[in-house]
Amino acid sequence: MKKSTLIVLTIGLLIGALIFTGCSSAITNANNGEQLGNGEQKRGYDGENGNGYRGGEESPYLDVNNYPKEDLSESEIQAMTEALMDEYKARDFYTLVIEKFGDVNPFVNIKRAEEMHIDSLKKLFEKYGLQIPEDTMMDEAKELMKNVNEIKDASINNHLKAFEKCAESTMGRGGYGKGESDKNCGCD
């Protein structure tokens, strides 16, 4: 794969991550774990202290017992459901990315974070006695992957060639510096 293709794909995936994931800094920080001097991780996902959260099951970051037990409005239940579905979709999207490119970072880490977000939301559903929605988002994740690939292909087939043409026509002349501002490189 050309380096430019990989760059375009990575940018597209990062944009997708920004659009389709919601990462809480408290949860993200809680999941990073502490590094020991020998490079081993003391805490973190599947770490020795429990289910993957800093401090294990007793973590104040995700202890739903610290949240008030009140009746939830329909809009709050809907917001929780939408949040969980978004996390399912993000996790499923990164599952597809990993299937295509292998177990490589940052995709493995992002998928792991999405799984932690899902676990956190499921705990909230359980606390409030709500039925946990099923993960039905794989089809949407596949559609998202298709769209990212179409954008990547358009960038490679259309935009990259135009940028290369511009770079070649202005190479060594200082770009659009003094004396070049009225010239066009044919990228219109």
Q: Domain coordinates of the chain in residue numbers?
A: 3-34+42-166
Distances from the Cα of 48 to the Cα of 26, 33, 39, 40, angstroms: 20, 11, 15, 11
Distances from the Cα of 4 to the Cα of 8, 104, 164, angstroms: 6, 19, 11
What global pTM score does this model have? Answer: 0.51
- List, for residues 27-41, the tens digit of each pLDDT value: 333 344 444 344 444
pLDDT at residue 25 is higher than 60: no
Cα gap 185→165, rounded to integer Å: 7
The crossing angle, in degrees rounded to 10, of helices 74-101 and 3-20 is 160
Tokens at 97, concatenated: 């990315």
